Amino acid sequence: AQKVTQAQTEISVVEKEDVTLDCVYETRDTTYYLFWYKQPPSGELVFLIRRNSFDEQNEISGRYSWNFQKSTSSFNFTITASQVVDSAVYFCALSASLDGYNKLIFGAGTRLAVHP
């Protein structure tokens, strides 16, 4: 079965705190991609990162960093020195290739509230 679990429903932090959003996935595919998307109140999904199953290097982009560990099937997302503008719902997704087409399987999302 293909599945993405985001166990944290809501997280509330004060500005400048670091925060980590957890993502655990299940797949039998040997080749797959993992994604993080940000969804602000406007509703549009904003692409943050894509990571393929063969690249376990961690990545840093400004205040954002991602930790991919195949051994634990996790792809966690850390925001350093959080800001109010980071408040949004964050989704982790798995790209599954089934029967000749790709679809994204999303977790339930984590709502992040950053307070001034």
Residue ranges in contact with another protein by CB under 8 A: 4, 33, 35, 37, 42-45, 47, 50, 52, 91, 93, 95, 97-109
What is the C-alpha to C-alpha distance for residues 63 and 57, in angstroms, rounded to an integer? 17
Q: Which is nearer to another protein, 43 or 116 (CB)?
A: 43
What is the C-alpha to C-alpha distance for residues 76 and 5, in angstroms, rounded to an integer? 11
Nearest-approach distance from CB 31 to another protein, in angstroms:
9
Give the chain's length.
Answer: 116
Q: Which is nearer to another protein, 44 or 57 (CB)?
A: 44
Q: Which is nearer to another protein, 37 or 75 (CB)?
A: 37
Amino acid found at 102: N
Check: CB of residue 114 under 8 Å from CB of residue 14: yes
Nearest-approach distance from CB 16 to another protein, in angstroms:
28
The 10 Å Cβ neighbour count of residue 48 is 16
Nearest-approach distance from CB 108 to another protein, in angstroms:
5
Nearest-approach distance from CB 15 to another protein, in angstroms:
25
The residues near 100 (Cβ < 8 Å, ≥ 6 apart) are none
